[in-house]
Amino acid sequence: MGFADIKTFENLQDDVITVNRCCACGACIAYCENQAFNVIEMDEYTPRFKTNKSVENCKECGYCYYICPQTEPLVDRLKEEHLIKDELGNIIDIFAARTTNAKIQEVGQDGGIVSTILTYLFETNNIDAAVVSEYDENFKPIPKIIYSKDDLAKSAGTRYSISSNILPLKDLTHIAEEIISHKKRIYDPDQLRIAFVGTPCQCRAIGKMKLLHIKPAHVISVVIGLFCFENFDYNKLIEILKSKTQINPSDIKKTNIKKNFFVTSKEETVKEVNIKDLDEAVRNHCHECDEFVGRYSDLSIGASGAPNGYSMILTRTEKGHSLIDSLLATGYIERYIIPADQISEWQPKKINWLKKMTSLKVKK
């Protein structure tokens, strides 16, 4: 990165934030805070200077601009690193599977694969923590660092509005202290092993950070990408859902999309909302996104194209492929058995389906 190429946070504001292209991943802030620069913060879903004085304190290092998933720098190098040649990215294997854990089946959505992967990683002492998303009392997604499989239940299910999942990584020292309080032997924050679960744009930001070997991405040991067609502005989404279903956000138990948008209340009442009624709530950055399956990850998980009660799994790296092999071998998950008369055509059909979904997203 030559000095002539350096762009600062002010450039990021001009090119991404003020023109509503920001995906609120939190990467810029996580990096800046880990350097103790004390310059930028997240205001709701918008990165900004903390104070007018912060503008002068900016080190103008340029990293915030380069690691942003919405900027062009490093994208070509990132594609080379991840062996990406088309819209689906590198795929070692593609199949459907579901959890064998009865408790996860009760609270999980579709195949319960992500919760089961994290359970396995915690139980086998392969991670110290995981970045996930939970709901607050008003059904607003919030990013969360968890330190035990016992904390997974609150993160089960799908989120349809933004959770700034990279943001909690802004203070690795605090994370290390939390782990020590759980009586685990962690003394150096740089030795943390954290699993990251995020949307395609968030995984792209993590990938850029890893490419530059900068904090806090160095502690991410595995990246799990989630299928994502579009994301909704929380306030707009809740306003529409409340108008259409008469269910208050505090009374929502879960939501899911199966052609249309379904809201299940805590009283088990299910309301259906036409998916087109939510168009005005779609976040602006989603309109230019060309990713559906999370190409910049070790493995990607999603319900689209999967048989009922299962999730699709795309393994992308040897690390991701080995991890899934271990879950299958130890019985944590079970593979969908393809009917004998569909074996030869099953994978090609699923690949074509995911390409179609990606194409629809790009056109949308």
Per-residue pLDDT reduced to its tens digit, 121-164:
999 999 999 999 999 999 999 999 999 999 998 887 788 889 99
H or E element that contains 329: helix 318-329
| CA 63/CA 40 separation, integer angstroms | 13
Coil, strand, or helix at residue 78?
Answer: helix
Question: What does the pLDDT read at residue 263?
Answer: 93
Give the orientation angle of helix 318-329 with respect to helix 113-123, to 10 degrees: 90
**Whether the Cβ atoms of residue 301 and residue 103 lie closer than 8 Å to each other:** no
For 110-129, b/e burial (b = at least 16 CB within 10 A) is: bbbbbbbbbbbbbeeeebbb
Q: Do domains 3-75 and 234-281 have the same CATH topology?
A: no
Q: Report the first-to-last Cα separation within the chain, whole angstroms.
A: 35
pLDDT higher than threshold 60 for residue 2: no
Question: What does the pLDDT read at residue 184?
Answer: 65
Please state whether the peptide bond connecting residue 307 to the residue before it is cis, i.e. omega within 30 degrees of 0. no
**Whether the Cβ atoms of residue 324 and residue 299 lie closer than 8 Å to each other:** yes
DSSP 257: E
Q: Which parts of 157-220 fold into alpha helices (H)?
A: 172-181, 200-212
Between 3.20.20.140, 3.30.70.20, 3.40.50.2300, 3.50.50.60, what CATH number should domain 3-75 receive?
Answer: 3.30.70.20
8-to-58, 285, 342 alpha-carbon distances in Å: 8, 20, 53
Summarised one tens digit per residue, pLDDT across range 226-240 is 999 989 999 999 999
| CA 357/CA 285 separation, integer angstroms | 18
The residues facing 143 across adjacent strands are: 133
Give the orientation angle of helix 27-34 with respect to helix 200-212, to 10 degrees: 30
Question: What does the pLDDT read at residue 177?
Answer: 85
Give the mean pLDDT of 319-336.
Answer: 98
pLDDT higher than threshold 80 for residue 332: yes
Predicted TM-score (pTM) of the model is 0.92
The residues facing 224 across adjacent strands are: 197, 299
Question: What does the pLDDT read at residue 3?
Answer: 42
At 163, list the tokens. 């959770």
Question: What does the pLDDT read at residue 183?
Answer: 64
Residues near 226 by Cβ (< 8 Å), separated by ≥ 6? Answer: 114, 197, 198, 199, 200, 294, 300, 301, 302
Q: What is the CATH number of domain 234-281?
A: 3.10.450
Pairing of strands 333-335, 93-99: antiparallel
H or E element that contains 260: strand 260-265
Give the mean pLDDT of 323-344.
Answer: 97
Summarised one tens digit per residue, pLDDT across range 192-204 is 999 999 999 999 9
Give the mean pLDDT of 79-107.
Answer: 95
Question: What does the pLDDT read at residue 285?
Answer: 87
**Whether the Cβ atoms of residue 312 and residue 302 lie closer than 8 Å to each other:** yes
pLDDT higher than threshold 60 for residue 1: no
Question: What does the pLDDT read at residue 195?
Answer: 97
Question: What does the pLDDT read at residue 174?
Answer: 84
pLDDT higher than threshold 80 for residue 89: yes
pLDDT higher than threshold 50 for residue 22: yes
Question: What does the pLDDT read at residue 30?
Answer: 96
At 302, list the tokens. 């999603």
Summarised one tens digit per residue, pLDDT across range 256-312 is 888 899 999 999 999 999 999 999 999 988 888 889 999 999 999 999 999 999 999
Question: What does the pLDDT read at residue 362?
Answer: 74
Burial of 265 (0-12, 13-18, 19+ CB in 10 A): middle
Tell me the domain boundaries of the chain: 3-75, 78-228+294-363, 234-281
Give the mean pLDDT of 70-86.
Answer: 95
Question: What does the pLDDT read at residue 187?
Answer: 62
Residues near 357 by Cβ (< 8 Å), separated by ≥ 6? Answer: 229, 292, 304, 305
76-to-55, 117, 187, 219, 302 alpha-carbon distances in Å: 31, 30, 37, 24, 26
What value does the mean pLDDT of the chain take? 92
Query: What percentage of the chain reaches a pLDDT higher than 90?
Result: 76
Q: Which parts of 35-146 fold into alpha helices (H)?
A: 52-57, 63-67, 75-81, 102-107, 113-123
Nearest to 128 by CA among 224, 197, 205, 221: 221
Query: What percentage of the chain reaches a pLDDT higher than 70?
Result: 97
